[in-house]
Amino acid sequence: MSSDSTPTSARECSPQQAELWLRGLLGIAWADGEYSPEEQRLIEDLIRSDWPEEEGKDLAPLSPEELAAQLQPELREDFLRTAVMTAVADGVYSEPEDRLLHQLATAFGLELPQLHLLKATLVDKRATSPSPAKAQPESSYTDLLAPLRKWLDSIQVRDVRVARFLCRMIPAHCPFERDVVLFGRKVLHIPPMCKLNPLYDQVVALRCRALSFLAEAGEDISQYT
């Protein structure tokens, strides 16, 4: 039994539902078309540790319609919360990720005004620096995103495999800011993710929940710290 008042049976996923959850998150992680070597290693490690029988196979993401047809209704809103965290974890929330999240909400039959607030954090990848497409003062983000923050803060971690994925995907520390230098001249300044991402606190809180879930399950979490 967990430390909160929610029964364990209502918090946990079956193995089949957990696999659906993870395949749905893969769709979010790859929505922007950028599948880096780091992400590839992450997924290969995930399959090797949690689905060894699937190693060497293509654990393909599911379409919104496929996921809606199979994911239990009581899990759908928490899945969307986790999907938002997956989309913003790298500090860059893109148009393809935004479209996919809205497609998922539609397929699930959920009307979530919080998702519309995410548009304020969209990043214009055509810009010369990774700043939000519609730059606003930090105080404006705080007021504008308050309902979204509250919605995300109510997320629950329900499965050890999902928890492992989140602990691997979300960096343990805020990446340091750095300058991109070409031929001895600075051509780009990249701020730390905690400055770039207005939902960074929520992402970090989710990682802490995932670590706590694994610790309560008796796993050694030192590999994630």
Whole-angstrom distance, CA of residue 82 vs CA of residue 193:
19
Q: Where are the domains of the chain?
A: 12-224
* Cα-only R_g, the chain: 18
Q: Exposure string (b/e) for 86-115, b if CB count within 10 Å is 16 or more?
A: bbbbbbbbbeebbebbbbbbebbeeebebb
Contact at 8 Å (CB) between 108 and 80?
yes
Q: In sequence order, what are the residues at sequence separation of 6 or more whose Cβ sits closer than 8 angstroms to the Cβ of residue 115?
A: 80, 84, 101, 102, 105
pTM exceeding the 0.85 threshold for the entire prediction: no
pLDDT digits (tens, 9 = 90+) for 4-28: 333 333 356 788 888 888 888 888 8
The tens digit of pLDDT for each residue in 41-95 reads 666 676 667 666 555 555 677 899 999 999 999 999 999 999 998 888 777 788 9
